[in-house]
Amino acid sequence: MAEPQEPPSAEALAQLPLDALHRRLGARMVAFAGYAMPIQYEGIIAEHLWTRAHAGLFDVSHMGQLLVEGPEAAAWLERLAPGDFKGLQPHRVRYSLLLADNGGVLDDLMVTNTGRSFYLVVNGATKHADIAHMMARLPAGITLHHMDDHALLALQGPEAVAVLSRFTLEPENADQPAFADLKFMAGARWRWNGVLLGITRSGYTGEDGYEISVPASKAEALAEALLAHPEVKPIGLGARDSLRLEAGLPLYGHDLTPDITPVEADLAFAISKRRKIEGGFPGAERVLDQLFNGAPRKRVGLAIEGRMPAREGATVWAGDTQVGVVTSGGFAPSLNAPIAMAYVATGHSEDGTALEIDVRGKRIAARVVPMPFRQKNYVREGTKP
């Protein structure tokens, strides 16, 4: 993640709906994406390991929540991103990429077909640029609504399902999946104590769990209800970053930028099968050429010897030749070892390739390894809840 800074003043930063709760819980607050946000409560490693074993509650209300409505909404989204949104079934979620005209990544996002509209979650640091980009291309008959009156909470970890299953959740519609049947990358809306919640079984930790959209005025009541369960603890930005790094998940602005294509980012799975044939998305000619003929570089995972972590910007070497640069790196608490993600020249991207990383003038040995670094624990279709 970007290096967070101590908030210069309360007035200089936007406040999350749960700001007062974070401070009552003893959070250390930092500046991130224009907000005062909790980076940790009791400590990053402890919070990381708690989430892996139990359930962590993350406040991700800085993220942008958008609604796209109109009869041609799916077709319009396909002009912005390489996903198959026409074929996305109601109550299903798809990971996708907002692309520049040259095929570079402007943002990564989650898209849910609600059955009546498309619900998008975009990154907090880029949400205003994303909205401007979309509004500049918005045709008649389609509306784009920024849900800035909603908070977003993420309940993540192997015990998240047990906790949320104790809540009395009334389905909004009869045709939606039962909450007990909700699997990975699916979502719908339920009423809890009269409050309408949008819940998707998704997240950014590699663990099973949920993201919950809630009216900002009701966010504190929901958070306190979740934290009342012994399995749940509040978790800050620091552990969110180490969890996503172990899961091999890219962070926009670091592992993804407008200079990087989906193929280079090893995210070709986000280009749906039909779109690989038809194209029609921004930069399709360049992206599909890389997909079928190869890209000059690739995002890879690096296992690092010793205990010294490699941070963003560290150079990657094969002998006397620089072949890449680290974009995310740090200590992996679940693995008890340092790991990193880097972009390296394709000829040095095969699993098992021996490389070196220059860390403050010292070369440390590293090896290309498959990602994720730690197995993900998603509950997919065909598996038991």
Rounded Cα gap, residues 16 and 110, in angstroms: 21
Is there a single domain that holds both residue 337 and residue 214?
no
pLDDT at 1: 45
Distances (CA, A) of 107 to 173, 177, 238, 240, 297: 32, 29, 21, 19, 19
Rounded Cα gap, residues 32 and 34, in angstroms: 5
Mean pLDDT by 10 residues, the chain (385 residues): 48 91 98 96 98 98 98 98 98 98 98 97 97 98 98 98 98 93 97 98 98 98 98 98 98 98 98 98 98 98 97 98 98 98 98 97 97 94 54
Rounded Cα gap, residues 128 and 152, in angstroms: 17
CATH number at residue 350: 2.40.30.110
For tokens 């966010």, what's the residue? 219
225 in a structural domain: yes
- Domain holding 332, by residue range, is 296-369
Question: Among positive and negative, which fits the CA dihedral 197, 115, 207, 329?
Answer: negative
Boundary residue ending a domain (246, 273, 306): 246
Rounded Cα gap, residues 238 and 241, in angstroms: 5
85 in a structural domain: no
pLDDT at 380: 82
87 in a structural domain: no
Helix (H) or strand (E) holding 22: helix 19-24
Rounded Cα gap, residues 100 and 91, in angstroms: 28
pTM: 0.95
Is there a single domain that holds both residue 49 and residue 190?
yes
pLDDT at 8: 45
DSSP-H helix ranges across 54-198: 73-78, 127-135, 160-165
pLDDT at 11: 55
CATH number at residue 239: 3.30.1360.120
Is there a single domain that holds both residue 153 and residue 241?
yes
Is there a single domain that holds both residue 183 and residue 242?
yes
Token pair recorded at residue 237: 């930005």
pLDDT at 385: 42
Is there a single domain that holds both residue 200 and residue 308?
no
Is there a single domain that holds both residue 312 and residue 207?
no
Contact between 341 and 327 under an 8 Å Cβ cutoff? The reply is yes
Is there a single domain that holds both residue 227 and residue 349?
no
Query: What's the chain's length in residues?
Result: 385
Among residues 184, 78, 76, 84, which one has the least CA distance to residue 137? Answer: 76
Residue 105's contacts (CB-CB under 8 Å, 6 or more residues apart) are: 97, 98, 99, 252, 256, 257, 258, 260, 261, 262, 265
Other C-beta atoms lying within 10 Å of the C-beta of residue 325: 16
pLDDT at 12: 82
Is there a single domain that holds both residue 164 and residue 224?
yes
Is there a single domain that holds both residue 51 and residue 162?
yes
Is there a single domain that holds both residue 41 and residue 161?
yes
Among residues 237, 315, 302, which one has the least CA distance to residue 1? Answer: 237
Token pair recorded at residue 124: 């907090």
Contact between 15 and 36 under an 8 Å Cβ cutoff? The reply is yes
290 in a structural domain: no
pLDDT at 365: 98
Other C-beta atoms lying within 10 Å of the C-beta of residue 132: 10
Token pair recorded at residue 326: 């680290």
HSE (CB half, 13 Å, CA atoms) of 128? Answer: 4
Among residues 228, 275, 309, 189, which one has the least CA distance to residue 55? Answer: 228
Is there a single domain that holds both residue 160 and residue 43?
yes
Is there a single domain that holds both residue 216 and residue 320?
no
Contact between 279 and 81 under an 8 Å Cβ cutoff? The reply is no
Domains contained in the chain, number: 2
